[in-house]
Amino acid sequence: MILVKDLTRIFETGNEDVLAVDHVSFSVSQSEVYGLLGPNGAGKTTTLRMILGLLNPTSGDAEVEGFLVSRQPDEIKRRVGLVSTSAGLYQWLTPREILFFFADVYGVSKDQAMERIANLSKLFELTSFLDRRSATLSTGQKQRVNLARSLIHNPPVMLMDEPTRGLDVVGSKVIFDYIDHLRDAGKAVIVCTHRLDEAEQLCDRFGLLYQGEKRYEGTLKELQQSTSCQSLTQIFLQLLDASAVTQKTIASVQKDVN
Amino acid sequence: MSKISNRPNLSHSSAMTFRFSGLLKKELREILRDRRTIITLVLMPLLVYPLLGIMLQKFFITQMANLGKVEYRILLPNEAEGKLFRDVFNQGEQVLKLKESNEFLESEKNKPAGILEEFKQQKPHVKFLIVDEAVKNENMKSLVRAGDVDVGIRYIPSKSPNKKSDHDKLGGQFEIIYGAQSKHNRRVAEYVEQRLQAVRWEYRNRLLKQLGKSNAVPFTTSVSAVKSETGQAFSLVTIVPLILILMTMTGAVYPAIDLTAGERERGTLETLMAAPLPRMWILSAKFIAVLVVAIMTAMVNMLAMLATTFANGLETVLFGTGMTPFVLLEILLLLVIFAAFFSAVLLCITSFARSFKEAQAYLIPLMMISMAPGILGMVPDLKMTPFWAVIPLANIVLLSRDFLLHEAQPLLFFISVFSTLFYGVVALTLAARIFGTDTILYQNNSSWTDLFKRSKKSHPVPALNNAMLCLAVLFPVFILSASFVSRLGAMSISLRLLISGCLTFSLFLLIPLLFARMGGVNLKSGFRFFRPRILSCLGAILLGFTLWPFAYEIEILSLSNERIESLSKLFESLKLELGAVPLWIKLVALAVLPAVCEELFFRGYLLSSLLNRFSNTPAILISSFLFALFHVIVRDSLFIERFFPSFFMGICLGYVNVFARSVIPGIMLHMIHNGLLLTIANYQDLLTDWEINLENQKHLPLAWLGCSMLIVIVGFLLIRISNQSETEDRPIQ
């Protein structure tokens, strides 16, 4: 369903270039939740944005349901729902107006939109604040509206960027349940997070990004076998240590050479 | 939780039935519900205009109190008519003084504007000017128009003349002629009319007493306005459109920032960009929303301004006598056109911004720059010309003023409207290119200090921000240095020219070199310093000799007759000054150095960075515009007429550079062009003997232009052909 092929992105900052994503490849199939993990600045969000066509890759390509992002970005946008921590709400509109607007944007008919809004309101318990101005909603309520918004066109693919950031335990629980439901509904889901404990519970497979590179990939079991670590957190710490050692070694070798 | 169905909504994915109106409705709802929009839209006019009205009232009262004794100059055509008028006028004066005339004054009290009352009560000194010879009506009008007198009075006798000398039974008509553009003239006309009316009123009262009811009058009066040349030193009529334009701008600023940078900051823009919507649709919806708010602001401001002026009795002072509902509609139309243009410019700029604060920082200089042409438009006696018609903002201010004065010319109206709309379309096109692009949405936020850090890697061409920063440094330094050279009056002209040459070298070569070093720019490719083909050089040499007649004609066409005269005088003095300078110094300072340095900067450094971002034509147009802008500044003065020929030369040099893929042919062209003009000027006396004179600023013979055109075509063809087979630039080895 999702096929990421050799995606690379270099940001030009004027004086120097920053390699944000370095030849990353992976695939996600139907009813699968793929965890794209890594510390801040690992290149997770950049990868998601390239899959969706919001960012042009420096090289490589992504494919969603057979459509290439380089050729048919609009077809991909129609098939993808995006949930992002940075995504806000139109503060002067009510959740109902926002949901109707996005239904219209994605070409959902009015009757269908009404039905979906009713279902999603029930699913995310929006009914009590559906007609309140968005600016007055709490963080959790806003996030629930965002989840509903991303599902209004019922996309087969979901991209979720740090979906639990800023949420309390109850709010996070809603997200977990939501992701379970997405899997049950046969959707291909990519979840970006640096909360490894959460990822363990949610995801079927993982890709560990570090400094733009994919360092490990596999199920929890496969990762445990290949690293002899028990948890994702341990695996990650090992990865960071290894990287630090490598960098020190390189530095010392360079010193010797000079 | 209920289940989510696994049936994606893709039934009509290929032909999506998305409605643009939905997007527009969202934008309008979002912006019109915003408290801050409403404050700018409604509260600002409600607060600003009453305060402005009070301030203007105070201002006028103070001004009038300072005027002291006022003189009314009344022109009468001859002694006979003069005596007749004076008698009637004095009688009117007497009537008004009489106690029984109180009733008349009571009835008149409601008529004049309130704030002028205090001033009107002062007794003016009336001066009658009588011309001995018979002055025709047209002559009298021309004297009033010229402002030599305040009003002209002539008496038109009745067709059945009454032989009795008693003016009670004159039966004719007094015509009062005054200048429409002068408030003072109108006041004098009103003063005279009041006295004549008093005589009529008194006469009728007397008749009523004697005969009972009667409609008989001793004479009638008529008032005619003529267009006066010496109206007010400072036209208040220009203030009205300027204030309206400024308020319209203010109204558009907040929505433009909020719907672009604000949305980006709140994270809603990413959600919108993730939807399958054409970027142009998103931008268009935002543009319409900003435009709607701007138009609403313009209308609310217009209404508030009208209400305030009427309430304070300032309508004649502010709008002149030409305000009619139709004129108001015309001004509103101009405001709508201006709002469209300005909304597009705002969106273009705010699309660059990554946050609300950043957008505000960008817009403050824009607002300041926008004020300049508007304030220029208030210069007294500034006439609307084709030049002003293409200057944004100033054209709308001047056109609105002309509408109020009933002086608008249809051709200039169309030029102004089309040029403003054209600029709007250009701004919107540019906005569409940058709005929502990934570099704007997601580029790393680097600090301003990064701009001054040396690049770690080498770049074949300068980055656009590097070239623009270089330009931003160059421009003020260039203005300062131009002023500095003009202050060196005590030095010999040769020395000044050499200093000027050194400054050109330092500015256009050393500063870009410094920036190139900081930006890690490869000097050969960054300055387009490639080895040219011989044919390119040959073509450039031909162009160097033959482009000047066209640049010259463009300059002549953009000049008014008065400007040509003043320039001829200026050239005379320059000729005397430069006459003593050896030709080689002139050639080095004014031909060789500018050609090398300007080409290396404008067509080398700047153009290469522009070509990296834009296609050939836009890149050449932008660099030519900037090149022309620099050429408008000569020493410490502005020579606007230099813009168009410099722009033309910039375009030619730009195409030569792009076709030849090297800056060198352009340097040759530029050098020959400047050198040739200097040489012609140097040997002008000799050339005048051959009947060639460029200093009289007259058009060149058509044969010259025809021949030049042929050689220009050959020149461009040679350059074009020379590099057609070439695929890559070849750096000089």
| pLDDT classification of B357: cutoffs 50, 70, 90 | confident
pTM for this predicted structure? 0.64
Any idea which residue has 């200048």 for tokens?
Answer: B179
pLDDT of B561 higher than 90: no
Across A127-152, average pLDDT? 90
pLDDT of residue A258: 46
Distances (CA, A) of B18 to A101, A103, A149, B21, B459: 10, 9, 16, 9, 44
| pLDDT classification of B230: cutoffs 50, 70, 90 | very low
Contact in structure between B601 and B525 (CB atoms under 8 Å) = no
What is the count of residue pairs from A and B with beta carbons less than 8 Å apart?
153
ipTM of the complex: 0.86
pLDDT of residue B117: 47
- Ranked by mean pLDDT, the top range of A13-17, B51-55, B120-124, B360-364 is B360-364
pLDDT of B500 higher than 70: yes
Q: Are strands B151-156 and B173-179 parallel, antiparallel or unpaired?
A: antiparallel
For A199, residues 6+ apart whose C-beta sits below 8 A from its C-beta are A35, A37, A191, A193, A206, A232
User: Which has the closest alpha carbon to B350: B373, B337, B374, B366?
Assistant: B366
Cα angle, residue B730 at apex, residues B724 and B733 outer, rounded to 5°? 150
pLDDT of B397 higher than 90: no
Higher pLDDT, B642 or B234: B642
At residue A186, what is the residue type? G
pLDDT of residue B502: 85
Across B291-300, average pLDDT? 91
What's the per-residue H, E or C state across B488-524? Answer: CCCCCHHHHHHHHHHHHHHHHHHHHHHHHHHCCECHH
Strand order, beta sheet including A80-84: A80-84, A157-161, A188-193, A33-37, A205-210, A213-218
pLDDT of residue B162: 52
CB-based contact (8 Å) between B4 and chain A?
A: yes
pLDDT of residue B74: 86
Which 5-24 residues of chain B touch chain A by CB within 8 A?
Answer: 5-10, 12-13, 16-19, 22-23
- Percent of the residues in chain A that have a pLDDT greater than 70, as a whole number: 91
Which of B2, B5, B6, B27 is the best residue to mutate to test the A interface, defined by the most A CB atoms within 10 Å of its own CB? B6
Q: How many CB atoms sit inside 10 A of residue A167's CB?
A: 18
Element (H, E) at B456: none
Which residue from B minimizes the CA distance to A186?
A: B6
For A142, residues 6+ apart whose C-beta sits below 8 A from its C-beta are A88, A89, A134
Cα angle, residue A139 at apex, residues A133 and A144 outer, rounded to 5°? 80
Picking from B2, B31, B463, the nearest residue to A119 by CB comes out as B2
Residues in chain A closer than 8 A to B274 (CB atoms):
52, 54, 77, 80, 82
Lowest mean pLDDT among A246-255, B8-17, B374-383: B8-17
Q: Residue B476, CB half-sphere, CA atoms under 13 Å: how many? A: 3
Q: How many CB atoms sit inside 10 A of residue B164's CB?
A: 10
pLDDT of B10 higher than 50: no
Picking from A16, A105, A177, the nearest residue to B22 by CB comes out as A105
Q: What is the pLDDT of residues B706-724, one digit of tens each?
A: 899 999 999 999 988 887 7
CB contact under 8 A, B18 and A154: no
Cα angle, residue A124 at apex, residues A123 and A125 outer, rounded to 5°? 95
What tokens appear for A82 in the block? 């995006």
Chain B nearest C-alpha distance from A229 (Å): 35
Q: What is the pLDDT of residues B253-271, one digit of tens each?
A: 999 999 888 888 888 888 8
Which 250-269 residues of chain B touch chain A by CB within 8 A?
Answer: 266-268
Q: What is the pLDDT of residues B129-184, one digit of tens each?
A: 876 555 555 577 777 777 778 888 888 877 665 544 455 556 788 888 887 767 67
Q: Residue B221, CB half-sphere, CA atoms under 13 Å: how many? A: 21
- Which stretches does DSSP call E strand in B622-668? 633-634, 637-638
What tokens appear for B191 in the block? 């003063």
CB-based contact (8 Å) between B445 and chain A?
A: no
Report helix angle B464-486 to B493-505, nearest 10.
Answer: 170
Distances (CA, A) of A14 to B357, B520, B541: 22, 10, 38
Cα angle, residue B125 at apex, residues B318 and B79 outer, rounded to 5°? 110
Chain A nearest C-alpha distance from B43 (Å): 20
CB contact under 8 A, B275 and A105: yes
Residues in chain A closer than 8 A to B16 (CB atoms):
78, 106-107
pLDDT of residue A101: 93
Any idea how long chain A is?
258
Residues in chain B closer than 8 A to A49 (CB atoms):
438, 442
Which residue from B minimizes the CA distance to A41?
A: B444
pLDDT of residue B396: 84
The mean of the pLDDT values for chain B is: 77
Three-state DSSP at B547 gives: coil
pLDDT of A150 higher than 70: yes
Contact in structure between B335 and B298 (CB atoms under 8 Å) = yes
Across B475-479, average pLDDT? 79
Lowest mean pLDDT among A139-143, B100-104, B238-242, B282-286: B100-104
User: Which has the closest alpha carbon to B216: B163, B176, B162, B175?
Assistant: B162
CB-based contact (8 Å) between B438 and chain A?
A: yes
